[in-house]
Structure 1
Amino acid sequence: MDPLAGDRIVVRYRLGEGGPGDWRPAPNPALERSPSLSDLTGILVDETADALLVERDGTVERLPRAAITSIRQLSRRVVRNSAIRDVERVLTEAAPAAERDEFDGWTVSADPESTALRANTAVPLGREARAADVGRVRDWYTRRGLSARVVVPERLLRTAEIAPRPGTEYEVLVDDAGAAVEVPGDDRDARRSWRARGYGLHHTFQVLEL
Protein backbone atom coordinates (compact mmCIF):
# COMPACT_ATOMS: atom_id res chain seq x y z
CA MET A 1 0.00 0.00 0.00
CA ASP A 2 1.18 3.54 -0.61
CA PRO A 3 2.72 5.48 2.29
CA LEU A 4 1.32 8.75 3.62
CA ALA A 5 3.06 11.88 4.85
CA GLY A 6 4.58 11.16 8.26
CA ASP A 7 5.22 7.47 7.52
CA ARG A 8 8.67 5.95 7.87
CA ILE A 9 9.80 4.45 4.57
CA VAL A 10 12.80 3.00 2.81
CA VAL A 11 13.28 4.05 -0.81
CA ARG A 12 15.49 2.25 -3.33
CA TYR A 13 16.67 4.53 -6.13
CA ARG A 14 19.05 4.76 -9.06
CA LEU A 15 22.14 6.89 -8.52
CA GLY A 16 22.98 9.79 -10.77
CA GLU A 17 19.42 10.74 -11.79
CA GLY A 18 18.97 13.92 -9.77
CA GLY A 19 18.68 12.18 -6.41
CA PRO A 20 21.06 12.20 -3.42
CA GLY A 21 24.42 10.52 -3.67
CA ASP A 22 25.23 7.14 -2.22
CA TRP A 23 25.47 7.35 1.59
CA ARG A 24 27.95 4.48 1.63
CA PRO A 25 31.67 5.32 1.38
CA ALA A 26 32.81 5.23 -2.24
CA PRO A 27 35.45 2.60 -2.99
CA ASN A 28 38.94 3.98 -3.39
CA PRO A 29 40.15 3.42 -5.98
CA ALA A 30 36.86 3.31 -7.83
CA LEU A 31 35.71 -0.11 -8.96
CA GLU A 32 34.94 -0.91 -12.56
CA ARG A 33 31.41 -1.85 -11.52
CA SER A 34 30.43 0.88 -9.08
CA PRO A 35 27.06 0.66 -7.29
CA SER A 36 24.17 1.84 -9.47
CA LEU A 37 21.53 1.77 -6.72
CA SER A 38 21.28 3.08 -3.19
CA ASP A 39 18.57 3.36 -0.55
CA LEU A 40 17.34 5.95 1.90
CA THR A 41 15.36 5.40 5.11
CA GLY A 42 13.48 8.31 6.61
CA ILE A 43 10.15 10.05 7.11
CA LEU A 44 8.01 10.93 4.10
CA VAL A 45 7.51 14.69 4.38
CA ASP A 46 5.62 15.39 1.16
CA GLU A 47 5.19 14.15 -2.38
CA THR A 48 4.55 15.70 -5.75
CA ALA A 49 3.90 14.28 -9.18
CA ASP A 50 7.66 14.33 -9.79
CA ALA A 51 9.37 13.55 -6.49
CA LEU A 52 9.23 12.40 -2.88
CA LEU A 53 10.61 14.55 -0.08
CA VAL A 54 12.08 12.35 2.64
CA GLU A 55 13.63 13.56 5.90
CA ARG A 56 16.70 11.65 7.07
CA ASP A 57 18.69 12.74 10.11
CA GLY A 58 17.20 16.24 9.99
CA THR A 59 17.86 16.77 6.28
CA VAL A 60 15.10 16.66 3.66
CA GLU A 61 16.20 14.81 0.53
CA ARG A 62 14.47 15.06 -2.84
CA LEU A 63 14.04 11.73 -4.65
CA PRO A 64 12.86 12.00 -8.27
CA ARG A 65 10.13 9.47 -9.01
CA ALA A 66 11.92 8.57 -12.25
CA ALA A 67 14.89 7.32 -10.19
CA ILE A 68 12.86 5.31 -7.65
CA THR A 69 12.78 1.54 -8.12
CA SER A 70 10.87 0.59 -4.95
CA ILE A 71 9.24 2.07 -1.85
CA ARG A 72 8.58 0.09 1.30
CA GLN A 73 6.54 1.34 4.21
CA LEU A 74 8.03 0.68 7.66
CA SER A 75 6.56 0.58 11.14
CA ARG A 76 6.77 3.79 13.12
CA ARG A 77 9.26 2.12 15.44
CA VAL A 78 11.22 -1.11 15.18
CA VAL A 79 8.76 -3.93 15.97
CA ARG A 80 9.67 -7.48 16.99
CA ASN A 81 7.72 -10.46 15.71
CA SER A 82 6.64 -11.18 19.28
CA ALA A 83 5.09 -7.70 19.49
CA ILE A 84 3.19 -8.35 16.25
CA ARG A 85 1.80 -11.57 17.76
CA ASP A 86 0.82 -9.76 20.96
CA VAL A 87 -1.15 -7.07 19.12
CA GLU A 88 -2.69 -9.64 16.79
CA ARG A 89 -3.90 -11.67 19.79
CA VAL A 90 -5.56 -8.62 21.34
CA LEU A 91 -7.35 -7.80 18.09
CA THR A 92 -8.39 -11.42 17.53
CA GLU A 93 -9.69 -12.01 21.04
CA ALA A 94 -11.64 -8.73 20.93
CA ALA A 95 -13.57 -9.92 17.85
CA PRO A 96 -16.95 -11.64 18.31
CA ALA A 97 -16.80 -15.43 18.14
CA ALA A 98 -19.41 -18.06 18.88
CA GLU A 99 -16.58 -20.59 18.83
CA ARG A 100 -12.82 -20.26 19.12
CA ASP A 101 -10.11 -22.90 19.14
CA GLU A 102 -6.31 -23.17 18.95
CA PHE A 103 -4.10 -25.82 17.34
CA ASP A 104 -0.65 -25.96 15.73
CA GLY A 105 -0.08 -22.29 16.57
CA TRP A 106 -3.27 -21.18 14.80
CA THR A 107 -6.22 -19.47 16.48
CA VAL A 108 -9.47 -20.14 14.61
CA SER A 109 -12.68 -18.21 15.24
CA ALA A 110 -16.20 -18.77 13.93
CA ASP A 111 -19.36 -16.70 14.24
CA PRO A 112 -21.73 -17.10 11.27
CA GLU A 113 -23.92 -14.25 12.54
CA SER A 114 -21.12 -11.69 12.55
CA THR A 115 -19.65 -9.70 9.68
CA ALA A 116 -16.68 -8.47 11.77
CA LEU A 117 -13.33 -8.81 10.03
CA ARG A 118 -11.92 -11.38 12.46
CA ALA A 119 -15.16 -13.15 13.38
CA ASN A 120 -14.53 -15.97 10.90
CA THR A 121 -10.79 -16.01 10.34
CA ALA A 122 -7.72 -17.99 11.38
CA VAL A 123 -4.63 -16.18 12.66
CA PRO A 124 -1.11 -17.66 13.18
CA LEU A 125 -0.58 -16.40 16.73
CA GLY A 126 1.81 -19.11 17.90
CA ARG A 127 5.49 -19.29 16.94
CA GLU A 128 4.93 -22.87 15.79
CA ALA A 129 2.31 -21.90 13.17
CA ARG A 130 3.25 -23.03 9.66
CA ALA A 131 1.75 -22.41 6.24
CA ALA A 132 1.69 -26.18 5.72
CA ASP A 133 -1.03 -26.43 8.38
CA VAL A 134 -3.64 -24.45 6.46
CA GLY A 135 -5.23 -27.72 5.30
CA ARG A 136 -6.25 -28.43 8.87
CA VAL A 137 -7.49 -24.84 9.18
CA ARG A 138 -9.60 -25.28 6.04
CA ASP A 139 -11.07 -28.52 7.38
CA TRP A 140 -12.05 -26.83 10.66
CA TYR A 141 -14.16 -24.28 8.78
CA THR A 142 -15.52 -26.79 6.27
CA ARG A 143 -16.97 -28.88 9.12
CA ARG A 144 -18.91 -25.79 10.19
CA GLY A 145 -20.15 -24.95 6.71
CA LEU A 146 -17.96 -21.85 6.48
CA SER A 147 -15.39 -20.58 3.98
CA ALA A 148 -11.86 -20.43 5.36
CA ARG A 149 -10.15 -17.06 5.64
CA VAL A 150 -6.69 -16.40 7.06
CA VAL A 151 -5.17 -13.25 8.52
CA VAL A 152 -1.46 -13.25 7.65
CA PRO A 153 0.52 -10.58 9.54
CA GLU A 154 3.68 -9.39 7.80
CA ARG A 155 6.89 -11.29 8.62
CA LEU A 156 5.11 -14.14 10.41
CA LEU A 157 4.30 -16.25 7.32
CA ARG A 158 4.70 -15.97 3.56
CA THR A 159 1.36 -15.28 1.89
CA ALA A 160 2.45 -17.05 -1.32
CA GLU A 161 2.76 -20.31 0.62
CA ILE A 162 -0.86 -20.08 1.77
CA ALA A 163 -2.84 -18.82 -1.23
CA PRO A 164 -1.98 -18.32 -4.91
CA ARG A 165 -3.34 -14.78 -5.04
CA PRO A 166 -2.61 -11.72 -2.87
CA GLY A 167 -5.26 -10.87 -0.32
CA THR A 168 -6.82 -7.66 0.97
CA GLU A 169 -4.30 -5.47 2.76
CA TYR A 170 -4.84 -3.83 6.16
CA GLU A 171 -2.78 -1.63 8.45
CA VAL A 172 -2.60 -2.09 12.21
CA LEU A 173 -2.03 1.29 13.85
CA VAL A 174 -1.20 1.89 17.52
CA ASP A 175 -1.03 4.97 19.72
CA ASP A 176 1.46 5.75 22.49
CA ALA A 177 -0.76 3.98 25.04
CA GLY A 178 -0.75 0.79 22.96
CA ALA A 179 -4.35 0.97 21.74
CA ALA A 180 -4.65 -0.65 18.30
CA VAL A 181 -6.98 -0.27 15.34
CA GLU A 182 -7.04 -2.01 11.96
CA VAL A 183 -7.73 -0.01 8.80
CA PRO A 184 -8.18 -1.14 5.17
CA GLY A 185 -5.08 -0.34 3.18
CA ASP A 186 -7.06 1.18 0.31
CA ASP A 187 -8.91 3.64 2.60
CA ARG A 188 -6.53 6.59 2.48
CA ASP A 189 -8.96 8.90 4.29
CA ALA A 190 -9.27 6.53 7.27
CA ARG A 191 -5.53 5.90 7.37
CA ARG A 192 -4.87 9.67 7.31
CA SER A 193 -7.53 10.30 9.98
CA TRP A 194 -6.06 7.80 12.45
CA ARG A 195 -2.57 9.19 11.91
CA ALA A 196 -3.90 12.66 12.75
CA ARG A 197 -5.12 11.20 16.07
CA GLY A 198 -1.62 10.08 16.99
CA TYR A 199 -1.68 6.50 15.71
CA GLY A 200 1.31 5.14 13.80
CA LEU A 201 1.91 2.02 11.77
CA HIS A 202 2.71 -1.06 13.84
CA HIS A 203 2.46 -3.72 11.11
CA THR A 204 0.38 -4.77 8.14
CA PHE A 205 -1.51 -7.94 7.32
CA GLN A 206 -3.40 -9.56 4.47
CA VAL A 207 -6.69 -11.43 4.58
CA LEU A 208 -6.50 -14.47 2.29
CA GLU A 209 -9.33 -16.65 1.06
CA LEU A 210 -8.40 -20.33 1.09
Structure 2
Amino acid sequence: MFGDRPQIGDRVVVRHRITAPSDGTPVGYTRTDVTGPLLSTDPLRVQGPDGPVQVAADAVDSVRLLSRETVRNSEIRQVESAAANNWPGVERAHVQGWLLRAGGGFTRRANSAAPLDVTARLDDATVAAIRDWYADRGLPPLLAVVERLIPIGHIPAGTLEAPVHVLVRDIEHPPSAQSVTAPSDTPVTIRDAASDEWVRSYVDGRGDRVDLPTARQVVDAVVDGRLGFAEVRRDGRLVGVGRGSVTTAPDGTAWFGLTAVWCSPDVRRLGVARAVVDALTAWGVDHGATRAQLQVEADNDVAGAWYRRLGYGLHHRYGYVRL
Protein backbone atom coordinates (compact mmCIF):
# COMPACT_ATOMS: atom_id res chain seq x y z
CA MET A 1 0.00 0.00 0.00
CA PHE A 2 2.75 2.46 0.96
CA GLY A 3 5.23 1.36 -1.69
CA ASP A 4 6.60 -2.02 -0.65
CA ARG A 5 9.27 -2.56 -3.31
CA PRO A 6 12.59 -2.62 -1.42
CA GLN A 7 15.93 -1.23 -2.54
CA ILE A 8 19.28 -2.92 -2.10
CA GLY A 9 20.34 -2.39 1.51
CA ASP A 10 16.80 -2.08 2.86
CA ARG A 11 15.87 -4.32 5.77
CA VAL A 12 13.31 -6.89 4.69
CA VAL A 13 11.61 -10.01 5.99
CA VAL A 14 11.27 -12.80 3.40
CA ARG A 15 8.81 -15.60 4.08
CA HIS A 16 9.62 -18.66 2.03
CA ARG A 17 8.86 -22.34 1.75
CA ILE A 18 11.26 -24.93 3.09
CA THR A 19 12.54 -27.52 0.64
CA ALA A 20 12.76 -30.99 2.12
CA PRO A 21 16.29 -32.43 2.18
CA SER A 22 17.16 -34.77 -0.70
CA ASP A 23 17.78 -37.63 1.74
CA GLY A 24 14.13 -37.57 2.76
CA THR A 25 14.73 -36.28 6.30
CA PRO A 26 11.41 -34.82 7.49
CA VAL A 27 11.16 -31.20 8.55
CA GLY A 28 8.82 -30.00 11.26
CA TYR A 29 7.59 -26.93 9.39
CA THR A 30 7.09 -25.86 5.79
CA ARG A 31 7.76 -22.14 5.92
CA THR A 32 10.23 -19.83 7.61
CA ASP A 33 11.32 -16.18 7.65
CA VAL A 34 14.67 -14.56 7.12
CA THR A 35 15.13 -10.94 8.20
CA GLY A 36 17.99 -8.61 7.33
CA PRO A 37 19.41 -6.24 4.72
CA LEU A 38 18.58 -7.07 1.10
CA LEU A 39 21.81 -7.98 -0.71
CA SER A 40 20.44 -8.68 -4.19
CA THR A 41 17.15 -9.32 -5.97
CA ASP A 42 18.25 -11.71 -8.72
CA PRO A 43 19.00 -14.04 -7.10
CA LEU A 44 17.17 -13.02 -3.93
CA ARG A 45 19.77 -12.83 -1.16
CA VAL A 46 19.31 -11.49 2.37
CA GLN A 47 21.94 -10.98 5.04
CA GLY A 48 20.66 -13.24 7.79
CA PRO A 49 22.00 -13.41 11.37
CA ASP A 50 24.37 -16.25 10.43
CA GLY A 51 25.37 -15.01 6.98
CA PRO A 52 23.86 -14.49 3.53
CA VAL A 53 20.73 -16.52 2.71
CA GLN A 54 19.71 -17.15 -0.90
CA VAL A 55 16.06 -17.95 -1.58
CA ALA A 56 14.83 -19.47 -4.83
CA ALA A 57 12.27 -17.28 -6.60
CA ASP A 58 9.67 -20.05 -6.73
CA ALA A 59 9.95 -20.57 -2.96
CA VAL A 60 9.12 -16.98 -1.96
CA ASP A 61 5.73 -16.36 -0.37
CA SER A 62 6.26 -12.68 0.44
CA VAL A 63 8.85 -9.93 0.80
CA ARG A 64 8.01 -7.23 3.33
CA LEU A 65 9.86 -3.94 3.57
CA LEU A 66 10.90 -2.84 7.08
CA SER A 67 12.38 0.33 8.52
CA ARG A 68 16.17 0.22 8.81
CA GLU A 69 15.84 0.06 12.59
CA THR A 70 12.91 -0.60 14.88
CA VAL A 71 10.89 2.62 15.05
CA ARG A 72 8.27 3.63 17.60
CA ASN A 73 5.13 5.53 16.62
CA SER A 74 6.32 8.41 18.78
CA GLU A 75 9.55 8.59 16.74
CA ILE A 76 7.55 8.77 13.52
CA ARG A 77 5.68 11.77 14.93
CA GLN A 78 8.96 13.46 15.85
CA VAL A 79 10.30 13.17 12.30
CA GLU A 80 6.98 14.18 10.76
CA SER A 81 6.82 17.27 12.99
CA ALA A 82 10.33 18.39 11.99
CA ALA A 83 9.50 17.73 8.33
CA ALA A 84 6.25 19.70 8.61
CA ASN A 85 8.18 22.68 9.98
CA ASN A 86 10.59 22.32 7.07
CA TRP A 87 7.86 22.44 4.36
CA PRO A 88 4.86 23.95 6.14
CA GLY A 89 2.90 25.56 3.33
CA VAL A 90 1.78 29.17 3.52
CA GLU A 91 -1.33 28.79 5.71
CA ARG A 92 -1.68 26.37 8.62
CA ALA A 93 -4.34 25.28 11.09
CA HIS A 94 -4.71 22.52 13.69
CA VAL A 95 -7.89 20.45 13.60
CA GLN A 96 -8.42 17.46 15.91
CA GLY A 97 -4.78 16.41 15.92
CA TRP A 98 -4.20 17.13 12.22
CA LEU A 99 -1.97 19.88 10.84
CA LEU A 100 -3.73 21.41 7.84
CA ARG A 101 -1.48 23.12 5.28
CA ALA A 102 -2.24 25.21 2.22
CA GLY A 103 0.19 26.60 -0.33
CA GLY A 104 -1.75 27.68 -3.38
CA GLY A 105 -1.81 24.14 -4.75
CA PHE A 106 1.99 23.95 -5.22
CA THR A 107 3.24 20.49 -4.11
CA ARG A 108 1.15 17.87 -2.34
CA ARG A 109 3.08 18.24 0.90
CA ALA A 110 2.33 21.96 1.24
CA ASN A 111 -1.37 21.35 0.52
CA SER A 112 -2.27 18.37 2.68
CA ALA A 113 -3.24 17.51 6.23
CA ALA A 114 -0.81 15.49 8.37
CA PRO A 115 -1.68 13.54 11.58
CA LEU A 116 0.96 14.98 13.89
CA ASP A 117 -0.78 14.52 17.22
CA VAL A 118 -1.62 11.24 18.91
CA THR A 119 -5.28 12.35 18.99
CA ALA A 120 -5.59 12.44 15.18
CA ARG A 121 -8.52 10.38 13.92
CA LEU A 122 -10.63 10.06 10.78
CA ASP A 123 -14.10 10.28 12.30
CA ASP A 124 -16.94 11.96 10.41
CA ALA A 125 -16.67 15.28 12.28
CA THR A 126 -12.92 15.57 11.61
CA VAL A 127 -13.31 14.69 7.94
CA ALA A 128 -16.04 17.32 7.56
CA ALA A 129 -13.88 19.99 9.24
CA ILE A 130 -10.91 19.19 6.99
CA ARG A 131 -13.09 19.30 3.88
CA ASP A 132 -14.54 22.67 4.87
CA TRP A 133 -11.10 24.19 5.56
CA TYR A 134 -9.75 23.24 2.16
CA ALA A 135 -12.98 24.20 0.39
CA ASP A 136 -12.67 27.70 1.83
CA ARG A 137 -9.29 27.95 0.06
CA GLY A 138 -10.41 26.47 -3.24
CA LEU A 139 -8.27 23.35 -2.74
CA PRO A 140 -9.13 19.65 -2.78
CA PRO A 141 -9.01 18.02 0.67
CA LEU A 142 -5.87 15.87 0.71
CA LEU A 143 -4.57 13.78 3.60
CA ALA A 144 -0.95 12.77 4.10
CA VAL A 145 -1.66 9.39 5.68
CA VAL A 146 1.37 8.22 7.66
CA GLU A 147 1.72 4.49 8.25
CA ARG A 148 0.91 3.34 11.80
CA LEU A 149 -0.35 6.80 12.81
CA ILE A 150 -3.70 6.19 11.12
CA PRO A 151 -5.18 2.64 11.22
CA ILE A 152 -5.09 0.98 7.81
CA GLY A 153 -8.73 0.01 8.25
CA HIS A 154 -9.69 3.70 8.20
CA ILE A 155 -8.26 4.12 4.69
CA PRO A 156 -10.62 3.10 1.87
CA ALA A 157 -9.05 0.34 -0.23
CA GLY A 158 -7.33 1.53 -3.38
CA THR A 159 -7.41 5.23 -2.48
CA LEU A 160 -3.79 5.75 -1.44
CA GLU A 161 -1.74 7.58 -4.08
CA ALA A 162 1.86 8.73 -4.54
CA PRO A 163 3.44 6.66 -1.72
CA VAL A 164 6.54 8.25 -0.23
CA HIS A 165 9.55 6.84 1.64
CA VAL A 166 10.91 8.97 4.49
CA LEU A 167 14.67 8.36 4.73
CA VAL A 168 16.94 9.38 7.60
CA ARG A 169 20.60 9.33 8.62
CA ASP A 170 22.92 10.69 11.28
CA ILE A 171 25.10 13.60 10.14
CA GLU A 172 27.61 14.36 12.86
CA HIS A 173 30.52 13.76 10.47
CA PRO A 174 29.65 14.91 6.93
CA PRO A 175 32.15 16.00 4.28
CA SER A 176 33.65 19.45 4.77
CA ALA A 177 31.74 22.13 2.88
CA GLN A 178 35.05 23.66 1.77
CA SER A 179 36.08 20.43 0.03
CA VAL A 180 32.84 19.99 -1.91
CA THR A 181 32.83 21.36 -5.43
CA ALA A 182 30.90 20.66 -8.58
CA PRO A 183 32.62 19.65 -11.83
CA SER A 184 35.20 22.14 -13.19
CA ASP A 185 35.85 23.29 -9.60
CA THR A 186 32.71 25.38 -9.64
CA PRO A 187 31.83 26.01 -5.98
CA VAL A 188 28.48 25.34 -4.40
CA THR A 189 27.09 28.64 -3.12
CA ILE A 190 24.56 28.60 -0.28
CA ARG A 191 22.40 31.68 0.20
CA ASP A 192 19.83 32.65 2.81
CA ALA A 193 17.20 33.36 0.15
CA ALA A 194 16.33 31.81 -3.20
CA SER A 195 16.83 33.92 -6.32
CA ASP A 196 14.07 34.16 -8.92
CA GLU A 197 16.25 32.01 -11.17
CA TRP A 198 16.51 29.37 -8.43
CA VAL A 199 12.71 29.23 -8.02
CA ARG A 200 12.12 29.12 -11.77
CA SER A 201 14.62 26.29 -12.25
CA TYR A 202 13.02 24.23 -9.50
CA VAL A 203 9.47 24.79 -10.78
CA ASP A 204 10.43 24.06 -14.39
CA GLY A 205 12.31 20.95 -13.31
CA ARG A 206 9.18 19.63 -11.61
CA GLY A 207 7.05 20.41 -14.65
CA ASP A 208 4.47 22.23 -12.52
CA ARG A 209 2.12 24.86 -13.86
CA VAL A 210 2.26 27.41 -11.08
CA ASP A 211 3.00 31.10 -10.92
CA LEU A 212 6.40 31.95 -9.47
CA PRO A 213 5.09 34.09 -6.57
CA THR A 214 3.09 31.12 -5.28
CA ALA A 215 6.05 28.77 -5.64
CA ARG A 216 8.31 31.27 -3.90
CA GLN A 217 5.95 31.51 -0.92
CA VAL A 218 6.11 27.74 -0.51
CA VAL A 219 9.89 27.33 -0.83
CA ASP A 220 10.52 30.34 1.44
CA ALA A 221 8.29 29.01 4.23
CA VAL A 222 9.75 27.48 7.40
CA VAL A 223 8.52 27.30 11.00
CA ASP A 224 10.99 28.01 13.79
CA GLY A 225 14.00 27.16 11.65
CA ARG A 226 16.36 28.43 9.02
CA LEU A 227 16.86 27.81 5.32
CA GLY A 228 19.79 27.54 2.94
CA PHE A 229 19.49 27.59 -0.85
CA ALA A 230 22.30 25.95 -2.80
CA GLU A 231 23.36 26.95 -6.31
CA VAL A 232 25.86 25.46 -8.74
CA ARG A 233 26.78 27.45 -11.84
CA ARG A 234 28.71 26.51 -14.93
CA ASP A 235 29.82 29.30 -17.27
CA GLY A 236 27.44 31.60 -15.44
CA ARG A 237 24.43 29.30 -16.02
CA LEU A 238 22.53 27.82 -13.10
CA VAL A 239 22.83 24.03 -13.44
CA GLY A 240 22.01 22.76 -9.95
CA VAL A 241 19.91 23.78 -6.96
CA GLY A 242 18.89 22.38 -3.59
CA ARG A 243 17.15 23.52 -0.43
CA GLY A 244 18.21 22.74 3.10
CA SER A 245 16.55 23.49 6.40
CA VAL A 246 17.23 23.03 10.08
CA THR A 247 14.11 22.59 12.20
CA THR A 248 13.55 21.15 15.64
CA ALA A 249 11.34 18.20 16.58
CA PRO A 250 9.25 18.30 19.78
CA ASP A 251 11.88 16.18 21.56
CA GLY A 252 14.54 18.82 20.83
CA THR A 253 16.38 16.99 18.03
CA ALA A 254 17.65 19.40 15.38
CA TRP A 255 16.86 17.90 11.96
CA PHE A 256 18.40 18.82 8.64
CA GLY A 257 15.78 18.59 5.89
CA LEU A 258 16.82 18.12 2.26
CA THR A 259 14.36 19.21 -0.41
CA ALA A 260 14.16 20.58 -3.95
CA VAL A 261 17.32 18.99 -5.35
CA TRP A 262 17.49 19.58 -9.10
CA CYS A 263 20.18 19.66 -11.74
CA SER A 264 20.12 20.42 -15.44
CA PRO A 265 19.81 17.31 -17.65
CA ASP A 266 23.11 18.07 -19.39
CA VAL A 267 25.11 17.79 -16.15
CA ARG A 268 23.44 14.75 -14.62
CA ARG A 269 25.76 11.94 -13.49
CA LEU A 270 28.62 14.46 -13.31
CA GLY A 271 28.53 14.99 -9.56
CA VAL A 272 26.48 18.19 -9.43
CA ALA A 273 23.64 16.74 -7.33
CA ARG A 274 26.14 15.08 -4.99
CA ALA A 275 27.97 18.38 -4.56
CA VAL A 276 24.70 20.13 -3.69
CA VAL A 277 23.71 17.45 -1.17
CA ASP A 278 27.11 17.36 0.52
CA ALA A 279 27.38 21.14 0.77
CA LEU A 280 23.87 21.50 2.19
CA THR A 281 24.48 18.68 4.66
CA ALA A 282 27.64 20.39 5.93
CA TRP A 283 25.66 23.64 6.17
CA GLY A 284 23.04 21.79 8.25
CA VAL A 285 25.68 20.53 10.68
CA ASP A 286 27.14 24.03 10.94
CA HIS A 287 23.68 25.17 12.08
CA GLY A 288 23.30 22.50 14.73
CA ALA A 289 21.60 19.58 12.99
CA THR A 290 22.55 16.07 14.12
CA ARG A 291 20.15 14.04 12.00
CA ALA A 292 18.91 14.37 8.42
CA GLN A 293 15.63 13.47 6.74
CA LEU A 294 14.24 13.60 3.23
CA GLN A 295 11.27 12.28 1.28
CA VAL A 296 11.47 10.38 -1.99
CA GLU A 297 8.59 8.92 -3.99
CA ALA A 298 8.47 5.17 -3.50
CA ASP A 299 8.45 4.45 -7.25
CA ASN A 300 11.50 6.65 -7.94
CA ASP A 301 13.96 3.76 -7.83
CA VAL A 302 16.90 5.79 -9.14
CA ALA A 303 16.66 8.54 -6.52
CA GLY A 304 15.77 6.10 -3.75
CA ALA A 305 18.81 3.92 -4.44
CA TRP A 306 21.08 6.98 -4.75
CA TYR A 307 20.07 8.41 -1.38
CA ARG A 308 20.53 5.00 0.25
CA ARG A 309 24.07 4.89 -1.12
CA LEU A 310 24.65 8.22 0.63
CA GLY A 311 23.84 6.58 3.95
CA TYR A 312 20.10 7.20 4.23
CA GLY A 313 17.79 4.41 5.35
CA LEU A 314 14.04 3.92 5.51
CA HIS A 315 12.36 5.34 8.62
CA HIS A 316 8.69 5.17 7.67
CA ARG A 317 6.28 5.68 4.79
CA TYR A 318 3.22 7.72 3.93
CA GLY A 319 0.88 8.34 1.02
CA TYR A 320 -1.93 10.66 0.02
CA VAL A 321 -5.68 10.14 0.18
CA ARG A 322 -8.24 12.46 -1.40
CA LEU A 323 -11.36 12.93 0.68
Same fold (TM over 0.5): yes
Give the one of 297, 313, 317 matched to 1:200. 313
Higher fraction of helix: 2
Q: 1:131 touches 1:158 (CA, 8 Å); kept in 2?
A: no
Gaps of 5+ in 2: 172-290
Q: Cα distance, 1:98 vs. partner?
A: 2.1
Q: 2:95 touches 2:129 (CA, 8 Å); kept in 1?
A: no
CA displacement 1:73-130 (0-9 Å, x = unmatched): 1111111101101111111121142210112110000111x52331100000100111
Tell which deviates more after alignment, 152-161 or 193-202: 152-161
1:126 corresponds in structure 2 to 117
Answering whether residue 145 of structure 2 is matched by residue 145 of structure 1, we say: no
| Aligned-partner Cα distance in 1 for 2:156–2:129 | 14
1:186 corresponds in structure 2 to 299
Answering whether residue 164 of structure 2 is matched by residue 175 of structure 1, we say: no
CA displacement 1:169-210 (0-9 Å, x = unmatched): 110001113210000000000001101111111111111122
Give the one of 3, 7, 16 matched to 2:6. 3
| Aligned-partner Cα distance in 1 for 2:32–2:306 | 32
| Aligned-partner Cα distance in 2 for 1:172–1:207 | 14
Q: 1:163 touches 1:209 (CA, 8 Å); kept in 2?
A: no
Q: Cα distance, 1:160 vs. partner?
A: 4.7
| Aligned-partner Cα distance in 2 for 1:181–1:203 | 11
Superposed, which structure 2 residues align to 1:1-210 within 5 Å? 1-16=4-19, 35-48=29-42, 51-112=43-104, 115-132=106-123, 133-164=126-157, 165-177=159-171, 178-210=291-323
Name the SS of the counterpart of 1:172 in structure 2: strand
Name the SS of the counterpart of 1:179 in structure 2: strand
| Aligned-partner Cα distance in 1 for 2:12–2:59 | 16
Name the SS of the counterpart of 1:119 in structure 2: helix
Please list every run of at least 4 consecutive aligned residues from structure 1 whose deviation after the TM superposition is greater than 3 angstroms: none
| Aligned-partner Cα distance in 1 for 2:156–2:132 | 15
Name the SS of the counterpart of 2:170 in structure 1: coil
Q: 1:152 touches 1:159 (CA, 8 Å); kept in 2?
A: no
Residue identity matched to 2:293: A
Name the SS of the counterpart of 1:137 in structure 2: helix
| Aligned-partner Cα distance in 2 for 1:117–1:174 | 21
TM-score of the pair, normalised by structure 2: 0.57
| Aligned-partner Cα distance in 1 for 2:308–2:166 | 11
Residue identity matched to 1:156: L
CA RMSD, Structure 1 to Structure 2 (Å) = 2.0
Residue identity matched to 1:80: R
| Aligned-partner Cα distance in 2 for 1:93–1:75 | 23
TM-score of the pair, normalised by structure 1: 0.85
Residue identity matched to 1:157: I
Tell which deviates more after alignment, 130-139 or 167-176: 130-139
Query: Does 1 or 2 have the higher relative contact order (CA < 8 Å, sep 6+)?
Result: 2
1:23 corresponds in structure 2 to none
Residue identity matched to 2:308: R
Q: Cα distance, 1:17 vs. partner?
A: 7.1
Gaps of 5+ in 1: 19-25
